[in-house]
């Protein structure tokens, strides 16, 4: 494959955009090389600026659950755009998508739309703090909730000490209010809660983690978290930015039969336009301005184009609920095919999967938290990534990201992907 035009576009971009990208992971920093510039996409395929075509397993990092340029979504956006692109006034479509989302997701009465997953999680934490009148929060190592200050925290010196900033610009003052716990380790979370009794406003978690590869909860971890939160009057926040409207119509809450107190959404709910949302029962949501004291706002929140895309997407998912089983079946097929190809070539690996999320870690040990994910062989992943790219398969350019399966993928595409894995794994 030739990447001449992408390379030249990247050089131009680097001169005017920091690192040439508007979101760091796109820069290929974790795998080396220079990024490929997308020109267009349709269904399961992305076309780059050099004319190469790839089977796409990023799907815009999740939103394109039905494939790229899904016609009902595109048509809805075009139609809406002709009526004006933003008003800064309430519109009927905001209520329409709110009603539909609430009907699909368990345990929520009201929803507020924002413009990104970051905003959704940041606002959910503020709401939890305002509602509980407590300041401290617990998050899990390896879970990502966007780039707001409270989440850019690394582990402190001991298991029960507060975190330290992991980006310059995040203050020590902010870091001291965020504790870092170990995913899938209820004893560790309990210890943190016990050591800070009466101070924790909320625990925020990706119910199926997708930002350290795909790591599902094990041993009823989510149910145990729910019980711990109930015992200590802590709000449980599910960050369903990846899992919402993907793992089931009602997301991870439905899949695992565990209710969260606040749920955050992004990606699928916007059909590929910039949308996030957070939702909860009335008593919590009514704490938000203008009804309540917790302030949260947005000039473009509930933007008509974004709402049109999101509504068309949710309507489709709601009317064809077989899609979730279909996606899980395709993911399982891919899992078994890739496993076989890697085994034949004696490549050590662990594949994790849940619904339409899947990832490969290049080690044999079980990957169940950040520590075990970080022990996998990143050099093998880099080779694998570039090998797959050469074979026309585009996976996330980092071992710490889940792949997203979309409904536009055919079994021929999956077979082609498995064949590519077989070819690439000969040289790993």
Ligand X SMILES: Cc1ncc(COP(=O)(O)O)c(C=O)c1O
**Is 334 an interacting residue with respect to ligand X (CB under 6 A)?**
no
Active-site annotation holder among 48, 239, 261, 413: 239
CA separation for the pair 328, 255 (Å, rounded) = 12
CB of 243 to ligand X, least distance (A): 8
Mask for 146-165, x = binds ligand X (CB under 6 A): x-------------------
Contact with ligand X (CB under 6 A): which of 132, 211, 301, 380?
A: 211
Q: What would the two tokens of residue 190 be?
A: 């309990």
Spatial distance between the Cα atoms of 185 and 222, rounded to a whole number of angstroms: 10
In our burial notation (b when 16+ CB lie closer than 10 A, e otherwise), range 229-263 reads beebebbbbbbbbbbbbbbbbbbbbbbbebbbbbb
The residue (of 35 and 387) whose beta carbon lies closer to ligand X is 35
Alpha helices per DSSP H over 237-281:
251-256
By C-alpha distance, which of 339, 332, 238 is closest to 279? 238
- Confirm or reject binding of residue 401 to ligand X (CB under 6 A): no
Q: Note the maximum CA span of the chain.
A: 61
Q: According to CB under 6 A, which residues from 268 to 307 bind ligand X?
A: 276
The catalytic residue among 131, 144, 256, 394 is: 144
Residue closer to ligand X (CB basis): 238 or 324 = 238
Please, which residue, 68 or 145, has the CB nearer to ligand X?
145
9 vs 58, beta carbon nearer ligand X: 58
Provide DSSP, 208-233. SB-SSS-B---TTHHHHHHHHHHHHT
Q: What Å distances lie between residue 424 and 242, 316, 320, 413, CA to CA?
A: 28, 36, 36, 16
Draw the binding track, 105-124, toward ligand X (x: CB under 6 A; -: no contact).
-----------xxx--x---
Q: At what angle do helices 411-425 and 378-390 cross, to 10 degrees?
A: 120
Residue in 266, 271, 272, 310 binding ligand X, rule: CB under 6 A: 266
**Geometric angle at alpha carbon 363, from 204 and 225, rounded to 5°:** 20
Report in angstroms how near the CB of residue 21 gets to ligand X at its nearest.
13
Of 41-49, 193-201, 204-212, 296-304, the window that binds ligand X (rule: CB under 6 A) is 204-212
Which one of residues 28, 45, 57, 61 is an interface residue with ligand X (CB under 6 A)?
A: 61
Instruction: Determine if 206 is a binding residue for ligand X (CB under 6 A).
Output: yes
- Of the residues 70, 131, 144, 394, which one makes contact with ligand X according to CB under 6 A: 144
For the sheet containing 403-404, what is the strand order?
350-354, 357-361, 403-404
Q: Note if 144 is an active site residue.
A: yes
Counting contacts by CB under 6 A, is residue 63 touching ligand X? no
**Cβ(365)–Cβ(375) under 8 Å?**
yes
Q: Which two tokens stand for residue 357?
A: 């999320």
Residue 355 binds ligand X (CB under 6 A): no
Q: Considering only CA atoms, give the Rg of the chain.
A: 21
Q: Which is nearer to ligand X, 146 or 310 (CB)?
A: 146
Number of residues that bind ligand X (CB under 6 A): 16
Q: Considering beta carbons, is residue 396 or 409 the nearer one to ligand X?
A: 396
**Residue number with the smallest Cβ distance to ligand X:** 117
Residues noted as catalytic: 144, 239, 267
- Contact set with ligand X (CB under 6 A): 61, 116-118, 121, 144-146, 206, 210-211, 239, 241-242, 266, 276
């Amino acid at each position: 494959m030739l990447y001449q035009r992408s390379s030249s576009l990247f050089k131009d971009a680097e001169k005017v955009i920091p690192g040439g990208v508007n979101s760091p992971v796109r820069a290929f920093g974790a795998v080396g090389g220079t990024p490929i510039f997308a020109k267009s996409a349709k269904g399961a395929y992305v076309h780059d600026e050099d004319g190469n075509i790839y089977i796409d397993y990023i799907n815009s990092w999740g939103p394109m659950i039905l494939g790229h340029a899904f016609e009902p979504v595109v048509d809805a956006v075009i139609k809406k755009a002709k009526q004006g692109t933003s008003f800064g006034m309430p519109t009927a479509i905001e209520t329409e998508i709110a009603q539909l989302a609430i009907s699909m997701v368990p345990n929520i009465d009201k929803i507020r739309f924002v413009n990104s997953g970051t905003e959704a999680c940041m606002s959910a934490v503020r709401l939890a703090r305002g509602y509980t009148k407590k300041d401290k929060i617990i998050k899990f190592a390896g879970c990502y909730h966007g780039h707001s200050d409270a989440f850019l925290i690394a582990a402190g010196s001991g298991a029960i000490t507060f975190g330290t900033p992991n980006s310059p610009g995040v203050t020590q003052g902010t870091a001291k209010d965020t504790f870092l716990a170990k995913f899938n380790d209820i004893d560790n979370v309990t210890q943190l809660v016990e050591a800070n009794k009466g101070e924790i406003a909320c625990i925020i978690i990706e119910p199926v983690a997708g930002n350290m590869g795909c790591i599902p909860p094990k041993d009823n971890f989510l149910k145990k978290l729910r019980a711990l939160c109930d015992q200590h009057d802590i709000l449980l926040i599910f960050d369903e930015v990846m899992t919402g409207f993907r793992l089931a119509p009602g997301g991870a809450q439905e899949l695992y039969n565990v209710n969260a107190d606040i749920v955050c959404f992004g990606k699928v709910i916007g059909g590929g336009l910039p949308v996030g949302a957070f939702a909860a029962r009335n008593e919590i949501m009514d704490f938000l301005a203008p009804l309540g004291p917790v302030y949260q706002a947005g000039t473009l929140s509930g933007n008509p184009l974004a709402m049109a895309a999101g509504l068309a997407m949710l309507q489709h998912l709601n009317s064809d609920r077989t899609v979730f089983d279909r996606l899980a079946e395709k993911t399982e097929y891919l899992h078994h095919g890739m496993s076989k190809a890697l085994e034949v070539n004696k490549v050590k690996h662990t594949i994790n999967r849940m619904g339409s999320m899947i990832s490969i870690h290049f080690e044999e040990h079980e990957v169940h938290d950040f520590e075990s994910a970080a022990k996998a062989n990143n050099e093998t992943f880099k080779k694998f990534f570039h090998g797959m790219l050469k074979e026309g398969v585009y996976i996330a350019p980092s071992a710490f990201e889940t792949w997203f399966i979309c409904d536009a993928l055919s079994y021929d595409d999956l077979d082609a992907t498995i064949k590519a894995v077989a070819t690439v794994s000969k040289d790993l």
